[in-house]
Structure 1
Amino acid sequence: MLRSALVILSGNAAASLLLLARNLIVARLIPVADYGIAATFAIAMAVVEMMSQLGLQQQIVQAKNGEDPRFQAALQGFQVLRGVIAGIALFALAGPLADFMNVPQAAWAYQVMALVPVLNAFTHFDVHRLNRSMVFLPVILTGAVPALLSVLAVWPLAMVYGDYRVMLYAIVVQALMTAVTSQLVARRPYRLVLDRAVMTQSLRFGWPLLVNGILLFGVFNGDKMIVGRELGMETLAIFAMGFSLTLTPTLVMAKSAQNFFLPQISVVDRTTPEGAARFTHLSLVTMQVSLLNGAILVLAIILVGGPVVHLLLGTKYAALLALMGPLAVMQALRVAKAGGAIVALADGRTGNAMQSNLARVATLPLAWYVITQGAGLGIVILIATLGELFGFALSLYLVRRTSGVALLRMLGPVLFSGIFFALALVLPALGSLPDWVLPVGLTLGIALTVLSMKDLLRYVMRRRADT
């Protein structure tokens, strides 16, 4: 079981690190302002995804009839319909979106981006169905191979264009190869069925995820849109790069935790006392893993983030160094919040993530206001961090209320991780301390956090004994 976890983590990490490498290479090869425009392409895609996110990939894992070939074909048919509608919507919104971001010259690029949701829609769902049997290689290859090809496309594209078009066409290459790779590694033939009953079932399952997609747009891109519109493309480039450097490991951790724990929790029969106890145990393990993932992210960013930024990006992004620690804490709270969402999803409740993201989105008007009053990126990050903190607290409450998971054994992990995050923010600001204080203090903090996670330690020790 632990071997499967390592496979998932390494596979997801490979794909995400390749895409991060692509972004870093593009940032080095093109001017800072052009990278700011390139960063808006992700915003354009998110506009469409937020309007059409129904969690069909998660549904085939969670649904009791997920192995049914016709059910899979119906989900694939619905996915293609969704992708075509999303592509048409992005094409229509290209002009208004470019005008809002004050880059009207890039409207044509947003129209080209309309191909991406259509291409992604032809991804074979077999790669997700196989997760039910703890077979993860197909979904890993579907993520990693297109990412590698997208990276390899950067150099010839840079030689031809040398501006934001490098990122545009690299994204199109990735989308095309995602669909192709998924077809090549699938075990079942690819079929499309339009089934009204399955669509209705998917809409019932996915409407909270659809609303959550809208909220996630605000979470991931709201601050970027505000920064880009009010402070310009160069400032957006700095902010977007910092966001990517800290968000990429966050997404790897959250996706890996979901891939690994969602199938395990979903199959638990809660009608027996033993099953109910196991559900609670696995739920606590999932939430503790998510909290620990956030702490590990902060430790890595605080200790090596600055030198890595300087090495990879040079002096063009020197303003980013002071923002890395606060951004890491903000993203750590995000990945911690994902634990409760996984538990709720395994219980067939897709509204947890939606509701917990409301707290984060509610901070956007305040962020916009303070920027118009002259505040810098540091204040924007602080406001976002408070939003994530409230969202994390709400996600724990929802798990207790809707899934009936007692949270007493989460008190220690929450307390010690909170102390660790506070140290990560305060210690770097105290510049007069000896050099050894920061690494020793943070290492001690994360060690105490791990020791407080009794369910996670018991889970690991049991798995080691089984192997």
Structure 2
Amino acid sequence: MKPLKSYLSGQSITQRVLRGSAISGVGYFLGQGIRLASNLILTRLLFPDAFGLMALVTMFVLGVVMMTDVGLTPSIMQSKRGDDPKFLNTAWSVKMLLHSFYFVIICLLAWPAAQFYDAPQLVQLMPAVGLSLLIGGLVSPNIEHATRHIRLGRVTMIDLTSQAASVAAMVIFALLTRSIWALVFGQFVAAGVKALLTRYYLKGPTTHFAWDRSAVHELIHFGKWITLSSACGFILSQGDKAVLGKYLSLEQLGVYNIGFFLASFPMALAENITGRTIIPVYRDSPPYESPQNFRTVRRMRMGLSAVVMAMIAVMVLCGPFIINLLYDSRYAGAGPIVALIACAQIPVVLGMTYPQAALAAGDSRSPSLLTMLRAGVQIAAFLTGAEMGGLTGAIVGQMLAGWVLHLFIIRLAVRHRVWDPLHDAIFAGIGLLLTFGGLSHLFMGG
């Protein structure tokens, strides 16, 4: 145990990433456990249409945020000035202005959104959730500073504490009112708790307003392509709900959202870990500089992919069983959705770290163009599949598009000299076997 403890407490890039990945992984599972528990409780206290309505609110809020995202977090993580208090506080000041802008735009969109989706409650719900973004803007940049150096213990604790406080608030409010406003109230609590903890619990420079023109220029120069990437990322993550919200009832959309919630567990884990650890790895240990660096990165990617693929396998093969076990009969239709969405995520696993390698090299343009391509192809595949085979066809269309798009991800990896063909071949083979087996089990009854 002593050698292991010594290794985990070391400061080499491998030791920091291993420690950070372990902390992020444990935090992810605890966070998803909290989220699942709240989901199980709230689905019994609220009707499915409440989750459908909240899915629409979340879609619009994320749309506004992601369409104007300037990539402050990756900017801080990759910048040579990422430890400069003036740079950090300038980034925080830009964030505060952005969050104020978000609130105004969300308020302006509330009435048109209510008319388009024939959901009058959006007029009140959207500004309320937008107000929670103003509170979220108070979150200290020390959280990005800690992530930059893969010091993730307190960061993870802050995330879990704010999430637990939010869940407790939602459950209590739902017990008292049986109203969708419980879900809104939980967002206020989460934002407030996180803002307080990042200021008074997380070590780092004192947070205050600052405006360094050179820092603003660097943030905007790096972030201009992040904005495009984030806007396209919104289409990738929320395009399905934008389309389905028009054609499904709120109750059906709520059932779909429950299925998506469970199926997204594996990729949420992957994004949690890669978002916090991979950019520093590629920044400090570029694989093309030495065989040792290449082996180090390969081991990390192999381990992460194996864990994520195992979780996807559970969702593909056991999705309907999990839904029937955890939820009442109103949500039975979410079972096949879990399995299908999990299959669609398999090709994404293969190249999930390559865009971070480009960002670590200061190239925000290439990942953004790639995301734009993915958004266009996948939404086209989703719509085409929906026309040919309904919801099932839409998800299968996205899955097929994902396999095709991986060829373009390989091109990005080759350009930055980080492609690992052995990794991709192994997990492509596993993924294809899992997809064929899962679809056969789903449509042919085993």
TM value normalised by structure 1: 0.84
1:30 is displaced (CA, Å) by: 1.0
| Structure 1 residues 385 and 430: alpha-carbon distance in aligned structure 2, compared to 1, 3 A threshold | closer
| Aligned match for 1:9, one of 10, 25, 33 | 25
Within 5 Å, give how 1:16-31 maps onto structure 2. 16-31=32-47
Deviation at 1:227, TM superposition (A): 0.8
Please, which runs of 5 or more residues in structure 1 have no aligned partner? 434-467
Work out which of the residue numbers 397, 417, 435 in structure 1 matches 2:430.
417
Deviation readout 1:35-64 (Å, 9 max, x if unpaired): 211222211221111122122122222111
- Specify the alignment match of 1:249 in structure 2: 266
What residue number does 2:147 align with? 131
Structure 1 window deviating more from structure 2 (356-365 vs 30-39): it is 356-365
CA distance in 2, matches of 1:139, 1:28: 32
Residue in 2 aligned with 1:445? none
Q: Give 1:78-97 correspondences, 5 Å limit.
A: 78-97=94-113
Q: How far does the alpha carbon of each residue in 1:119-151 deviate from its partner, in whole angstroms, 9 at most, with x for none? A: 111111112212333311121122111100111
Contact 1:146 1:177 in 2 (8 A): yes
User: What is the SS of the residue equivalent to 2:353?
Assistant: helix
Corresponding residue for 1:400?
414
1-structure distance, mates of 2:34, 2:215: 35
Would you say the 8 A contact 1:35–1:237 is kept in 2? yes
Aligned partner of 2:337 in structure 1 is: 323
Alignment partner, residue 83 of structure 2: 67
Does the aligned pair in 2 maintain the 1:251–1:335 contact within 8 Å?
no
Where does residue 159 of structure 2 map in the other structure? Answer: 143
Aligned residues: 428
Matched, 1:295 2:309: yes
Q: Provide the C-alpha distance between the structure 2 equivalents of 1:63 and 1:112, rounded to a whole number of angstroms.
A: 35
1:212-246 alpha-carbon deviations (Å, 9 max, x no partner): 11111111111111111112212211211111111
Q: Which residue in the other structure is 1:437 paired with?
A: none
d(CA) in 2 for partners of 1:94, 1:114: 10
Q: Is the 8 A contact 2:229 2:367 kept in 1?
A: yes
Q: What secondary structure, in the 3-state scheme, does the structure 2 residue paired with 1:135 have? A: coil
Alignment correspondent of 1:198? 215
How far residue 287 of structure 1 moved from its aligned partner, in angstroms, is 4.6
Structure 1 residues 187, 139: closer, same or farther in 2, change over 3 A?
A: same
User: CA shift at 1:276, angstroms?
Assistant: 4.4
Work out whether residues 139 and 199 of structure 2, in 8 Å CA contact, stay in contact via their aligned partners in 1.
yes
Q: What is the CA distance between 1:80 and its match in structure 2?
A: 1.0
Q: 1:181 aligns with which of 189, 197, 203?
A: 197
Q: CA deviation at 1:284?
A: 4.1
Aligned pair in 2 of structure 1 residues 300, 52: CA closer, same or farther (>3 Å)? same
Letter in 2 for 1:118: L
Deviation of 1:4 after TM superposition, in Å, equals 3.5
Of 314, 318, 324 in structure 1, the residue corresponding to residue 328 of structure 2 is: 314
Cα RMSD after superposing both structures: 2.4
Specify the SS of the correspondent of 2:332. helix
Taking a change above 3 Å as real, the CA distance of residues 142 and 236 of structure 1, as seen in their structure-2 partners, is same
Of the three residues 185, 188, 191, the one matched with 1:169 is 185
Which range moved further: 44-53 or 275-284? Answer: 275-284
Q: Identify the match of residue 55 of structure 1 among 60, 63, 71.
A: 71
**Alpha carbons 1:101, 1:228 under 8 Å: kept:** yes
AA aligned opposite 2:265:
T
**One-letter amino acid matched to 1:216:** G
Tell me the distance in 2 between the aligned counterparts of 1:69 and 1:5. 26
Cα offsets for 1:254-298 (capped at 9, x unmatched): 22133223222212378xx8x344554455445545543441222
1:386-465 pair list within 5 angstroms: 386-401=400-415, 403-429=416-442, 431=444
Find the residue that maps to 1:194 and give its secondary structure: coil
Q: Percent same amino acid among aligned pairs?
A: 19
Residue 225, structure 1, aligned to residue 242, structure 2: yes
Q: Structure 2 length normalisation: TM-score? A: 0.88
8 Å Cα contact 2:336-2:442 kept in structure 1: no
For residues 413 and 302 of structure 2, what CA distance do their matches in structure 1 show? Answer: 13
Pick aligned residue for 2:122 from 89, 106, 114: 106
Say if 1:411 and 1:67 are closer, same or farther in 2 by CA, change over 3 A. closer
| 1:156-212 superposed Cα distances (whole Å, 9 cap, x missing partner) | 211333132221211222122221121122213222212232122111111222111
Change (3 A) 1:226 1:54: same
Counterpart AA for 1:204: H
Given that residues 350 and 424 in structure 2 are in contact (C-alpha distance below 8 angstroms), is that contact kept between their aligned partners in structure 1? no
Distance in 1, Cα, partners of 2:424 & 2:349: 18
| d(CA) in 2 for partners of 1:397, 1:288 | 20
Q: Give 2:7's aligned residue.
A: none
SS at match of 1:114: helix
